[in-house]
Structure 1
Amino acid sequence: MQRLRVIDLLHRFRGVFAYSRIAFYDLDPRAMNSYWYLIGLLALLCSVVGTEAQAQSGTGTLVGEVVSSSGDVLPGVNVLIPAENQGAATDAEGRYRIEGLSPGSYEVQAQFVGFRTETTTVTIEAGQETVQDFTMREDLVQMDEVVVTGLGQSVERRKLSADVGVISANDIEEAPVSSIDQLLQGRVPGSSIRAQSAQPGQGALINFRGITSVFGSQTPVIYIDGVRVDNNSGTSLSFGGESTSALSDLLTNDIERIEITKGGAASTLYGSDAANGVIQIFTRRGQEGEPRVTFRTEQGADFPVTKFFRDTGFSFASAVEDPDSPDFGRDSFIADEILDTGYTQNYYVGVSGGSESVTYNVSGRAQNGTGVQPNNENTLYALRGNVQTEVASDLNVSFSGAYTRSNFSRVNNGTAIADPLTAFEVGDAKFFSGQGTLDEALELFLLPTIKEGVDRFTLSASGTYAPSDLFSSKLTAGIDSRVNEQRRRNPSAADPLTGNEDGLLTRFDRNYKSVTLEYVGTVSYPREGRIISDFTFGVQGFREDISTILGEGETLIPGSENFGEAGSVIAQETQSEIFNGGVFVREQIGIDDRVFINAGLRLDGNSSFGANIGLQAYPSLGVAYTISDEPFWGDMFGSVITELKLRTAYGETGKFPEPFARDFSFQSTAFRGNAAPRFFNPGNEDLSPERTATLEGGFEGAFFDDRFALNLTVYASRTSAALFDVPEPPTSGLGTQLRNIGEIQNRGIEIDTDATILARDNVRWALGASYGYVKNEITDMGGVPDFNLSTTVSAQQRISEGEPVGAWRAATPFDSNGDGLPDASERRFTGSTPYPNHTGAFTSRLTINENISIFALADWATGAEVFDWGSHWAQFNGLVRAERTTQYDEDGNELGLFSTEEDGVSLLQNGDYLKIREVSVSYRLPDAFLEPLRLSSASVSLAGRNLFTFSRQDLVDPELAGITSGGGLQLGGAQSITLSPPRQVRLSLEVTL
């Protein structure tokens, strides 16, 4: 862009000043005086500026405005003149300006994510402003959208041979959520995203395309601005089946977009830790222009969901129905005395703007909520900044950083004896507390306190160097530091619940740090002609350090909160370090801008590999063909199929073993005041990563003049060298050892559709739907006998060849003598899993008069069964909460109901559900109202979340992941009396100056 900047003028004035002094001094230093000096300086300055003006007068300027087809202004649109390598981005009002153009005709393009690229020809005249406005149509297929994840470089979607999902800024703005895991629900086809409970600090269990491992978390790897961050969904002690998640403090503030790969071919370049997929988060950057200040406030209420409670009218029926009982009439004690309406307030301030060479975006957020259960208050403070600067014409540097501080409190949950919800729902409250009334029992259950604080700091720095169109490179470095401190205090008065007479203080600290370093270079040659090429190479590495400290202090004086005041303290500490690094190359060849062939390879090393492994190679290969760009397409199919891309891809990724699994190791144990070593792990020098190979194919198409879009993917993946615990010979005394001997397969289909139902000048209505199916199977266990991941009293999540990972095997009544009456029980495979295999979502977007927007989202899942611990415990109080089978003897005589230990299938509740997840209505104030107030924009919105739940049973919330499995694999699927995420209502106001 040829434009005289302020800094250029200053440099020229300085040069002119020096020249003027020399000139006058040489002429006649003795006669020089201030008057003539000033006249000479001004004359020379006028000469320079006049020369600049003359140069500019020989050029022209292109200006204009860019709006959407519905009339909305579009900030951030790139308006480019490719032949001159010049361009500009539209400002907050959708206007652009390109100066210093030589006279002539040019092809001009307007490009923007989510819209079709618009191209036109303009004629520039010397000394004139040429006006060229653009109206951009939404692109349902978004072939021109640029993505980065999994490719090592920015590339248009039309060139992708594997599916990469994108959640745009518009998607984020319309969602009434605050964390990343909530945002993903219903927006990623083929995913299972299940919340844990209603308590603060909890994150969801996330799974893409089935279970790929028997050991280890299934959570995808997460990057923010190129930096790997903590993604652990269990970072604290659970105290009854729930744990703090690192996902809960990944906020949606200032996110520009999210890119998602679900493992497979699109994740190959991430190597030995990408089998579960990759989530890339890109934060919002400032735009050139005057500072824009945005203020947003959100006020709301949370309402407890009581659909899955029978309350004390069921669990304490005799007491609440007896007029002489002190608990008479308290049949809804849980709803009335334990649960309550919560209140939330949220405040946000952001400032963005910048010059042609430096842009910035800085924001802060404060939030407070009281929760719907006792002791569930939470506060959060967050700061984020993002700065980009053009150091030189070929060098750009950017920095981004965020700090989050959150504090919250909880009550005991689920399987903990001190959990008030379970105790009152199943009839145990008086028994465990030793109290005579419900009120007295509740007072005792609420005495223990659980508090936690989390400090998180993330920093990213990157530099992009592009000396020519033929070569570009990018260097990224960053850190993520997350520290959480958890405390539970049980006062001595709670002895009937804890068994401790003098009080107990439990503290758990976890310290996580990761460092990421990545360099990527791309050589683009040739760039023109029928065949073009992009060769990408790079190196990537990260180091992850985790340390934990667990301590318990006994014998506390009233009010004591510190270990130093405890009578005795027991503590333990763990530390782990992992380094993963790799180099990769990728070649992409384009033919006629329609066919794109890519091949890649990553060589990976990891500190968890055995000594005999060395580098692991992960290849990829893919083809994308936009067949609708062929000359014959328009005449033959253009009226029906507007755009169609076919794609197929193959790729391999991995999952490395846990730290120290390869090592022959010992542990030290305290014994009689001394440290005594004992055997811990036999080690395996041949330990290697699990390898997941995926073959996928599909198409993306737009139909009926872009009124209907369809994205379909079919995939098959196989995890080889799967890790299983193999028993060592009994005489060795080595127990079991991880070995790479298994095989797991996942096959599935993903469909995503979007349809424009109505498109008028003042009304636009679009509907969307998605569907995902996955079939999981363990095809080879390498001779290892069947084993359980988790065991309940009557059902297990089983690992067995020919069945899905974690398939339910439950005690099942059956007829042993052929008389048609159940008289015996045995464990059988139920045919179901703890996680769903069919998932989907529906969306609706309605825009009226450009100012009113109505959005709704519903998501659903089927195919899972959920174990109901509450109904098991209720039987000990003579309560039948879940319907059980009647038992008979061999002679046909009725014996009563099978116990839950013999009738475990009665505790496996149907896991199908449909949830009205989000509904929002927003109104953008018209310009006529904004101008007198000097506001750039203003909007008000009313939103609801978790509004309604439809299920086939009302004993457990089928969405909740619940208690996790053993061995690090988190399948969920087992619940006590766990409270559903609350029904939320939010009213928000946002203004931009």
Structure 2
Amino acid sequence: MGALFINSSFVFAQNQQVRLSGNSLTLKSAFKQIEQQTKLFVDYNTQEVNDSQVIKQLPKENSVKNVLEQLLEGTNCSVSFSNGHIIISKKASAPSQVKKVTGVVKDERGEPVVGANIVEKGTTNGIITDMDGNFSLSVSASSILQVSYIGYLTQEIPVGNKNSFAIKLAEDSQGLDEVIVIGYGSVKKSDLTGSVSSVKTAELQQTPMTSIDQGLVGRASGVQVIQTSGMPGAVASIRVRGSSSLQGGNEPLYVIDGFPVYSGSGFGNTGGKTQMSGLSTVNPSDIESIEILKDAAATAIYGARAANGVVLITTKSGKKGRDVISFETSFGWSNVSKKIDVMKAQDYVKLVNEAYTNDGLDPYYSATDLAEIAKVGDGTDWQDEIYRTGLTQTYQLNFSGGDEKTQYSISGNYTNQKGIILDSDFKRYSIRLNFDRNIFSNFTVGTHATGTHTINNAVATDTGGEDGTVSGALRMNPALPIYEDELAGTYTQINVPGLLIPNPVGTAKERKFNNATSRLLGDMYMQWEIIPDLKVKIVAGADIMYHKVNRYTPVSIYQARGTASAHIGINKSINWLNENTVTWNKTFAEKHDLSVLGGFTMQQNNTEHALASSSDFVNDAMLYNNLGAGAVYNKPESNATQWNLMSYLARVNYSYDHRYLFSVNARIDGSSRFGSNNKYGFFPSASAAWRISEESFMESVKDLIPNLKLRASYGFTGNTEIGVYQSLATLDSYSYVIGDSQVTGFSPNRIPNPDLKWERTGQFDVGLDIGLWNNRLRITTDYYKKKTTDLLYDVAIPYTSGYQTMLKNIGSVENHGWELSIESDNITGRDFSWTTAFNVSLNRNKVLELGGEDYKEMSEGDGHLKTGAIRRLIVGKPIGIFYGYRFDGIFQNEEECKKQTSSASPIGVGLRRYKDLNGDGKVDATNDREILGDANPKFFGGMTNTFYYKGFELNVFLQYSVGNKIYNYNAMELETPTGGTNAYADLVNRWTPEHPSNVYPKASTNRNILVSDRFVEDGSYLKLKTLSLSYDFSKLKLKHIQGLRVYVTGQNLLTWTKYRGYDPEVSYKGASTLEAGEDYGGYPQARTFMVGLKLDIK
């Protein structure tokens, strides 16, 4: 079968029809046209073939074999075909002695190279290696074997007296011919003029993940990925070169196999407190590569949606020449990586009674109570009660392969992840098909289709209140048991005046929050090469998503409220796409390469939303499955929205002699989201690159500096992420009573703004690509500066208008920074190799303008703390600064108290003291608050070291962030000894007359607390993010087994940080820029261990 397939491939290759065109065409130009039309590589030696020879008469359209024979007539050259290559060489004279040689071709890791070309140099005599890398060939004893394969350095080996050869091909580490995916096409890395970071399959498979955004953590320069929650299936926060918007989106645009989607597509107000990512519906095992487009040269082709960068995701497709069945499975277990040290029962009850007596009240616990509590010892460890060992299992089956006309890849996946908090889990079922078919030599059709269904059972965390499972476990009374009545299934709770904290175990186990998402993402395309060099491509696709949230809060965990509540929320989203592009590629006079792209695209999104809820259920038997059983019905909600985007795009790339590269991109976007006066926007960019290493004056140092390229770009992109209908006047339904009847009418709730338009970002970038010592050391560095204008923000307007605020384009923000990426092949021995990849990124953010104001207050505190704003937007300062009071120790005596005549917090011996910054004897919000820190890091990045030894591979990945600050809400609670909730264990050292602490205040039922630097902590960290050890059994040459790999992986193994919380990767409410770096009991990241197996069957 293999011989029959190879023979049919040869026949197909040499019978492809070609047609040459042009005046005064040289052989070199003719060969280029043949390559473009046949997708075959023409290989020849310029010492044997004079490719500058002008063709006197062009052959008529014919098979490629016949055309080449006519072109080479009289040159004493012959033509042969081998594995996608056309080989032109001098006709060989009869060999004086012929013998049979055999051998095997492997790569540096000892894996067989399938399909490598083995050619007797100067002849058409050749063969390709089989599935085990073996070959056998009859050659002249005086000949030289040429061994080549795409992606590897070609070797020439004299035959001499040897009959057997063990050949090891080295990878072409220069990688300049590596193809990089860009918007609406691809380009060789050597011809790239923009700033693009790539993450390949080999890097992704080192990280256990349920969502592909997790695979970007620390892998790409300029890309900050914060895993703000350890919730199974939860979203990560991604920033490409900083935050550019205040109220608009700051997440990048995601493009999956050419289809632009949004990470939150189809997710709306379904009543949940934890948003899941639309990307969690994409199976990470299906990913071939991820490219992150960062500068305007790379992103402008996506226009109004590209201000925050673009993430291009390419899924795996079939390869020509081999059919492979792949199976992969893994199993893992997870645990919380640390615990917060809080008081045990005996210390806690002492604190409670002390708080009451310090305030002149009777002790809360009587002597009888204390005697009973003494029997429980340390009491309930609520953290132990809510955390468990989480288990993860995945199964992946893939069929792939193809021939010259058809390539296919079909995969199925099942993932089941149980979280480390009780009753939290995530399941995904997915199936994917990629199919491409060459109907004719110039006409191709294909499809990408993915179907997924995910189920996520979430728990309430990061809620900003007392009902969060994690914050509740930290603050819950350790002297209480779990159940008030275990048989009845009722839970204990904290219920004191002004404070109700539900039982965290009950919250996790009984409070239901179920997300179910079904998604079908697919497209079909046709590509027609109308004439040589001119191609038309038409794509039509849809992203259909159905998302349902079921939520139920039983009475058993809120006895004090005496009611249960349920709701059901549904979102249905259909996103249609049509893209029509034309590309033209032409080479002139051998040194001039021109590529032109033009296109027209349309995209439409239709979303329907419905929400129904009720409360006051008699019992919890039906949960959310019978809303009619609730005695109280809440007003239902429903709506339907639509947005449209119509675009024209163009790109021109020009290269002179592959030394001087130029690119111009432009896109015109028309969006329904914006005002009638600003429906369309124009987003151009220009870039250039100089391949200095290709200059003649660099020849003498070619071995030292084989690659040196200088890049520069400038352009504009936009941001459309503001929601729908924001420019229009809208109405809300409103119920009122007339007489004895309730009637419904409408009232206006938004003032129109016909001038509303997109935020616009202009960006300058200059970069340098360097390869040293035969490209064993590869360096990429960029400096960028971008300015975003026309920021969207709700501004106050006169009350006489009838409205409070209006969304307008005001203000501007600047980001500038520097990125460095280094890759090195440290050791490349036969049995041992060591490679390193390192990246570091620095970004500085600054607010330039706020609509004429100097500052704006932000984040007004949660509903319980009432602590006021913890942030302020200030012109000249970064987005994300914390703003508040300076902690100044504890009032030690009455004299110190008398020095402050008034304060925003109570004044008294043993209470917190705050600095009087202006020295007027008063501490107030107007004069005594200042900048406390910045949530943005000074720099961040990652480093990977990979060691290979005789089939073993060890991968060590470190991630780091330096200089970012965190506002620790948990610490603010746990350092405030009111007696209502638990406290840090170290508060046994709180202020007392006998032990006057200057750090912890005295116990008091009054909340003596303000937003201050006491709770702004250093969030810098270094993580041993991933440690993976694998072994490849390919050397065993098992029958029908092409590859067998087993591995064990650990994730989040070690964290070095000064931060007192569970994890320094935190952000309240996930991806919000204005609330970054706030920790209020988020779901901790887990320490995970995985074992797995991957099997490839040929």
- Per the alignment, residue 907 of structure 2 pairs with none
Are residues 1:975 and 2:1075 paired?
no
SS in 2 for 1:174: coil
Are residues 1:914 and 2:1022 paired?
yes
Are residues 1:697 and 2:736 paired?
no
Aligned partners of 1:605 and 1:615 also within 8 Å: yes
Instruction: Output the CA distance in 2 between the equivalents of 1:801 and 1:375.
Output: 45
Cα shift at 1:985: 0.5
Instruction: Output the CA distance in 1 between the equivalents of 2:649 and 2:570.
Output: 37
The more displaced of 200-209 and 428-437 is 428-437
Match of 1:927 among 1026, 1029, 1035: 1035
Instruction: Output the CA distance in 2 between the equivalents of 1:238 and 1:591.
Output: 55
Tell me which amino acid in the other structure corresponds to 1:871.
Answer: A
- Per the alignment, residue 1049 of structure 2 pairs with 943
Aligned partners of 1:610 and 1:684 also within 8 Å: yes
Cα shift at 1:766: 1.3
Aligned partners of 2:266 and 2:545 also within 8 Å: no
Give the 3 Å change call, closer, same or farther, for CA 760–665 of structure 1 in structure 2: same
Instruction: Output the CA distance in 2 between the equivalents of 1:895 and 1:936.
Output: 64
Tell me which amino acid in the other structure corresponds to 2:199.
Answer: I
- Per the alignment, residue 343 of structure 1 pairs with 391
Aligned partners of 1:600 and 1:620 also within 8 Å: yes
Are residues 1:602 and 2:636 paired?
no
- Per the alignment, residue 757 of structure 1 pairs with 826
- Per the alignment, residue 135 of structure 1 pairs with 169
Are residues 1:556 and 2:556 paired?
no
- Per the alignment, residue 140 of structure 2 pairs with none
Aligned partners of 1:389 and 1:397 also within 8 Å: yes
Instruction: Output the CA distance in 1 between the equivalents of 2:307 and 2:728.
Output: 24
> What's the TM-score, normalizing by structure 1?
0.84
Cα shift at 1:772: 0.5
Cα shift at 1:988: 0.5
Are residues 1:613 and 2:717 paired?
no
Match of 2:283 among 245, 251, 256: 251
Aligned partners of 1:180 and 1:250 also within 8 Å: yes
SS in 2 for 1:633: helix
Aligned partners of 2:272 and 2:549 also within 8 Å: no
- Per the alignment, residue 850 of structure 2 pairs with 781
Aligned partners of 1:307 and 1:954 also within 8 Å: no
Cα shift at 1:693: 0.6
Are residues 1:658 and 2:723 paired?
yes
Tell me, which stretches of 5 or more residues in structure 2 are unaligned?
16-65, 70-77, 84-102, 120-125, 138-143, 159-164, 353-368, 494-502, 862-866, 888-913
Aligned partners of 1:855 and 1:919 also within 8 Å: yes
SS in 2 for 1:310: coil
Cα shift at 1:240: 8.7
- Per the alignment, residue 1012 of structure 2 pairs with 904
Give the 3 Å change call, closer, same or farther, for CA 905–831 of structure 1 in structure 2: closer
Cα shift at 1:749: 0.5
Instruction: Output the CA distance in 1 between the equivalents of 2:348 and 2:236.
Output: 33
Instruction: Output the CA distance in 2 between the equivalents of 1:315 and 1:842.
Output: 44
Please give the per-residue CA displacement for 1:655-676, whole angstroms capped at 9, x wherever unaligned: 1243111112221123343222
Match of 2:230 among 190, 195, 198: 198
> What's the TM-score, normalizing by structure 2?
0.76
Cα shift at 1:239: 7.7
Instruction: Output the CA distance in 2 between the equivalents of 1:903 and 1:330.
Output: 32
- Per the alignment, residue 625 of structure 1 pairs with 690
- Per the alignment, residue 161 of structure 2 pairs with none
- Per the alignment, residue 404 of structure 1 pairs with 452
Match of 2:472 among 423, 429, 436: 423
Aligned pairs for 1:841-990 within 5 A: 841-849=942-950, 851-874=951-974, 875=976, 877-878=978-979, 881=984, 901-928=1009-1036, 930-931=1038-1039, 934-964=1040-1070, 969=1073, 971-990=1075-1094
Aligned partners of 2:105 and 2:113 also within 8 Å: yes
- Per the alignment, residue 51 of structure 2 pairs with none
Match of 1:212 among 227, 234, 244: 244
State the aligned residue count: 916
SS in 2 for 1:297: strand
Aligned partners of 2:245 and 2:792 also within 8 Å: yes
Cα shift at 1:233: 8.6
- Per the alignment, residue 641 of structure 2 pairs with 576
Cα shift at 1:551: 2.0
Match of 1:504 among 528, 540, 565: 565
Tell me which amino acid in the other structure corresponds to 2:730.
Answer: S
SS in 2 for 1:477: strand
Match of 2:754 among 667, 671, 685: 685
Aligned partners of 1:544 and 1:579 also within 8 Å: yes
Aligned partners of 1:622 and 1:647 also within 8 Å: yes
Cα shift at 1:954: 1.8
Aligned pairs for 1:306-705 within 5 A: 306-308=338-340, 310=342, 312=344, 316=348, 318=350, 324-325=372-373, 328-330=376-378, 333-414=381-462, 415-427=464-476, 435=484, 440-441=492-493, 442=503, 444-445=506-507, 446-496=509-559, 499=561, 501-558=562-619, 559-560=621-622, 561-567=625-631, 568-635=633-700, 637-656=701-720, 657-672=722-737, 673-705=742-774
Give the 3 Å change call, closer, same or farther, for CA 67–271 of structure 1 in structure 2: farther
Give the 3 Å change call, closer, same or farther, for CA 287–225 of structure 1 in structure 2: same
Cα shift at 1:652: 0.7
SS in 1 for 2:817: strand
- Per the alignment, residue 286 of structure 1 pairs with 318
- Identity over the aligned pairs, expressed in percent? 22
- Per the alignment, residue 82 of structure 2 pairs with 62
Instruction: Output the CA distance in 1 between the equivalents of 2:155 and 2:681.
Output: 46
Tell me which amino acid in the other structure corresponds to 1:695.
Answer: F
Aligned partners of 2:885 and 2:930 also within 8 Å: no
Q: CA RMSD in A?
A: 4.1
Aligned partners of 1:887 and 1:895 also within 8 Å: no
Cα shift at 1:581: 2.0
Tell me which amino acid in the other structure corresponds to 2:839.
Answer: S
- Per the alignment, residue 23 of structure 1 pairs with none
- Per the alignment, residue 992 of structure 1 pairs with 1096
Give the 3 Å change call, closer, same or farther, for CA 309–578 of structure 1 in structure 2: farther
Cα shift at 1:209: 0.6
SS in 1 for 2:587: coil
Aligned partners of 1:236 and 1:486 also within 8 Å: no
The more displaced of 538-547 and 696-705 is 538-547
Cα shift at 1:219: 1.1
Aligned partners of 2:180 and 2:187 also within 8 Å: yes
- Per the alignment, residue 357 of structure 2 pairs with none
Aligned partners of 1:410 and 1:450 also within 8 Å: yes
Please give the per-residue CA displacement for 1:116-172, whole angstroms capped at 9, x wherever unaligned: x759899xxxxxxxx9988242425x322212323x332112222211111112222
SS in 1 for 2:693: helix
- Per the alignment, residue 16 of structure 1 pairs with none
Cα shift at 1:795: 4.2
SS in 2 for 1:529: coil
The more displaced of 747-756 and 417-426 is 417-426
Aligned partners of 1:964 and 1:974 also within 8 Å: no
Cα shift at 1:790: 1.7
Aligned partners of 2:461 and 2:1083 also within 8 Å: no
Cα shift at 1:870: 1.9
Give the 3 Å change call, closer, same or farther, for CA 369–734 of structure 1 in structure 2: closer
Aligned partners of 2:340 and 2:474 also within 8 Å: no
Please give the per-residue CA displacement for 1:727-777, whole angstroms capped at 9, x wherever unaligned: 223322232222223111000011111122222110001122110011111
Cα shift at 1:556: 2.5
The more displaced of 399-408 and 809-818 is 809-818
Cα shift at 1:829: 3.7
- Per the alignment, residue 745 of structure 1 pairs with 814
Give the 3 Å change call, closer, same or farther, for CA 247–201 of structure 1 in structure 2: same
Give the 3 Å change call, closer, same or farther, for CA 669–587 of structure 1 in structure 2: same
Match of 1:830 among 905, 917, 931: 931
Instruction: Output the CA distance in 1 between the equivalents of 2:853 and 2:953.
Output: 57
Aligned partners of 1:174 and 1:920 also within 8 Å: yes
